[in-house]
Amino acid sequence: MDLLGWLIFLFALLFSVMAHEAGHFLTAKKFGMRATRFFVGMGPTLWSTRLGETEYGVKAFPIGGFVKIVGMTSMEEVDPADEPRAFRRFPGWQRVIVLAAGSAVHFILAFLLIFCLALGIGIENNNTTQLGTVSGCVPASVSALNSGAACPPGAAKSPAGLAGLRVGDTVTSFDGTAVSNYTQLTTAIKNVKAGTTVPITVLRDGRSVTLHATLASVPGRSGGFLGIAGSTVFQAVGPVRAVTYAGSGFWQVLDGSGKALAQLPAAIPDLFSKNRASTPAGNVSSIVGAANATGQAVAAPVGWQDKVSFVLLLIASLNIFVGAFNLFPLLPLDGGHIALVVWERIRSRIARWRRRPDPGLVDYMKFIPISFSIFSIVVVIGVILILADIVNPVSIG
């Protein structure tokens, strides 16, 4: 099941990359630009065919893809016969649309995934007192609790397990206080000191059952520990509610991605620490980490709705992050090329106002050192994240 999760993620990643390239390709063709190649993967060519002026094909390594549009920069040598259809000869607004189309496709894919999730499966409601998990033991530390680490041999059995609580029980009262949502229940548990025995009333198979549990303590964590987690209930919604949910989810992921990216410099020192999950380093991950999380979700002992929901939201989040990151005004990202096109048009407008000749295309040669430096930094950070996700992975619990 872990392997299946990895395959699902890798297929989704490859599809997203090719959809990104298709955005560039289709808009370029729409404006009449000359696009000569569209390939899936990288490396040696396994298969290709030519349709019209474009060669379509598959490369040996399924790790990306590319589209070749003639004359993308001022440095590229172009056949004089193709120069009128070169990318650099088209109006600035058309070039910006072609460059931004890749990120736009990522955003559209993410929105549709969240929309279909809400419409087809439903919206998650985690605020229920129905138990979805009963822990098998008392965690040895806060880090073990947060990471969902497996119970080591000889670990003390959890209070919930000793009391006889079961998955599917709905807690109606804790320590004599009625509870109607999971927030109330967790607050009540934390307010009880470890070592205290409390009555817990649950609804089981239509009957009210009262059990007794003696709360334990987790080193480094205040309050008592019971060893339960709520279940997820999916509520079906209509198209209008699905649209608003998708819009809200989109902005939440975008905001979260921005915060995670801002935390990245401070998170790097904790990437290889034992308590990574409880530090900002637990919020940043590489493609390996995302694939590993998908594998864990698919293999988890939960319902198919939870699995599909997690995987779709993860893939949507990946598309939102990649789409937004790609618009940063830094070369070699699409956003860097957009910034140069915009600067080129501003410079042209200023020259026109001053009744001077149009300065023409931006000299990309001047930006190669900047582009190389940024690319090197991105590669180094990416390698560090991959290594951390291999040797010190974060469990989704």
Catalytically active residues, by annotation = 21
If you count DSSP H runs as helices and E runs as strands, how many of each does the chain have, helices first?
10, 10
Cβ proximity of 36 and 76 under 8 Å: no
For the beta carbon of residue 263, count every other beta carbon within 10 angstroms: 15
Contacts of 319 (CB under 8 A, 6+ apart): 16, 106, 107, 109, 110, 113
Closest by CA position to 279, among listed 122, 111, 143: 143
Q: Minimal CA–CA distance to 361: which of 137, 86, 138? A: 86
User: How does DSSP classify residue 280?
Assistant: G
State how far the alpha carbon of 165 is from the alpha carbons of 2, 136, 209, 223, 251, in Å. 29, 11, 10, 20, 38
CA 380 – CA 372 distance, rounded (Å)? 12
